[in-house]
Structure 1
């Protein structure tokens, strides 16, 4: 049982709830790949609903970046994409990251949670490091990334419809980013969640009024990323 620290941060209760009875899960060699896949699929579900509605609702279709280029991706296309991503995770990403975890050994979990400020700084630093590493790898190994660019008009789930090698390298880049920053496991979980959401939103195919790129224009968002796919297809 975890004993509260007299100067415990605001997030201490959350961190203790995450650890309570879940230490084996947190030390599992299958956690990184499972977390990456499940969060990606869950974050895609709102856009699956939008694509389904888009086939019958003109208002939803008007939000699409390519509003006049045809209907949204069909449920069949979503299903085929899901099976491709799942098979690559099961055949490559999951065993490779599990092997890496076994070689490196488990990480000791800290007793205290990070402060809210530390969490925000660590997540922001992880995003900067990951974006820098990803840009370098994207330019250096575009022959690997070209498989992903066969989606001339991307959709949310297609954010991870890449080759097994690229999926594995992306996860390793994300894990390396959090390791280089030296962030708390709670900060790392938030970073992976936010990083996955940014990828999903970039590929969703919708220019939604509340999208992050309208709040932070520097992000580019779905319109810029769809132009990138069209240019380098």
Structure 2
């Protein structure tokens, strides 16, 4: 997909690429990908963790929380961070070493044009979304796959930012290799690869952040093209819907799309509906915070 970068429409990205190439030894280090992945994830999570910490003391932000009454214990945060460190050390690091061993180092001196980078990033996102949709659907439809490989990610029925990478080693390796392989197989420029990776991390954290903020990507991109946190939060509640990681068209096409609820009153209706679907009518009369606690216990 890269074509000839010497014929790019502009050179706006050339200084960035030249700066990156000046740190070639750092980029070539076997530790760089895992450190880069770990750091990017924590930086993306940091704003939402701060909002969770401040809670009602910041009412302007707290009113956008999907479940305003739900809070997270310190042990949950520590356990999630420990799992992320564990996955990066034991799974992502060996996977990146293996991936680097089968690919050649890029030798291009030219940066892509801005339009070319944007086009290639969008194509990578669409392909990643397509492949993960079917991968995700399969892990929910095959009981053994769900129980032993995917259920860990669903321990948080009310996800928060760190939940994005709270998953089994198998799941993390699959998603990381997919994210790395797509731009490589499409012969994207290394700068495009890094942009796609950062955007992928950010969107994944946004999906799990638990907030429906006005400036989130799904509220900026029109026509409901992106699902965002409300879309994925409903997946963690009902499990067998909204499988796509980012876009909504595949779930609409295959009949697995569920319209997300927004606001505390709608959130309560969703919780009550979920209780009815489970055949537990007694829970419908309970308060929503109690229902969230009960649901978390059941998931564990």
Superposition TM-score, scaled by structure 1 size: 0.89
Give, in angstroms, the shift of residue 105 of structure 1.
4.7
SS of structure 2 residue aligned to 1:199: helix
Query: In 1, distance between residues paired with 2:71 and 2:214?
Result: 18
> Once structures 1 and 2 are overlaid, which stretch shifts more, 30-39 or 187-196?
30-39
Give, in angstroms, the shift of residue 117 of structure 1.
0.8
Give the match for residue 183 of structure 1: 188
Matches within 5 A, 1:78-89: 78-89=77-88
Unaligned runs of 5+ in 2: 1-5, 141-145, 240-298
Moved over 6 A (4+): 5-8
Give the match for residue 227 of structure 1: 234
1:69-98: per-residue Cα shift (whole Å, max 9, x none)? x34323442222111110121012212321
Query: In 1, distance between residues paired with 2:194 and 2:70?
Result: 35
2:233 corresponds to 1:215 = no
Give the match for residue 156 of structure 2: 151
Query: In 1, distance between residues paired with 2:73 and 2:217?
Result: 25
SS of structure 1 residue aligned to 2:93: helix
Query: In 1, distance between residues paired with 2:118 and 2:48?
Result: 27
Give the match for residue 262 of structure 2: none
> Once structures 1 and 2 are overlaid, which stretch shifts more, 142-151 or 187-196?
142-151
SS of structure 1 residue aligned to 2:167: coil
Give, in angstroms, the shift of residue 136 of structure 1.
1.6
> Once structures 1 and 2 are overlaid, which stretch shifts more, 90-99 or 71-80?
71-80
Give, in angstroms, the shift of residue 207 of structure 1.
0.9
Give, in angstroms, the shift of residue 189 of structure 1.
0.5
- Residue 29 to residue 105, structure 1, CA distance change in 2 (3 Å): farther
Query: In 1, distance between residues paired with 2:231 and 2:65?
Result: 13
In our comparison, the structure showing a higher alpha carbon Rg is: 2
SS of structure 1 residue aligned to 2:157: coil
Matches within 5 A, 1:117-136: 117-136=115-134
Give the match for residue 108 of structure 1: 106
Please say if residues 13 and 112 of structure 2, whose CA atoms lie closer than 8 Å, have aligned partners that are also in contact: yes
Matches within 5 A, 1:165-180: 165-180=170-185
2:202 corresponds to 1:200 = no
| Highest RCO, 1 vs 2 (Cα 8 Å, sep ≥ 6) | 1
Query: In 2, distance between residues paired with 1:146 and 1:192?
Result: 25
Match of 1:163 among 162, 168, 171: 168
Give the match for residue 37 of structure 1: 38
1:126-168: per-residue Cα shift (whole Å, max 9, x none)? 1011111111211223312222011100001110000011101
Unaligned runs of 5+ in 1: none
The alignment's C-alpha RMSD in Å is: 2.0
Give the match for residue 21 of structure 2: 19
- Residue 52 to residue 9, structure 1, CA distance change in 2 (3 Å): same
Give the match for residue 53 of structure 1: 54
Please say if residues 109 and 185 of structure 1, whose CA atoms lie closer than 8 Å, have aligned partners that are also in contact: no
> Once structures 1 and 2 are overlaid, which stretch shifts more, 58-67 or 219-228?
58-67
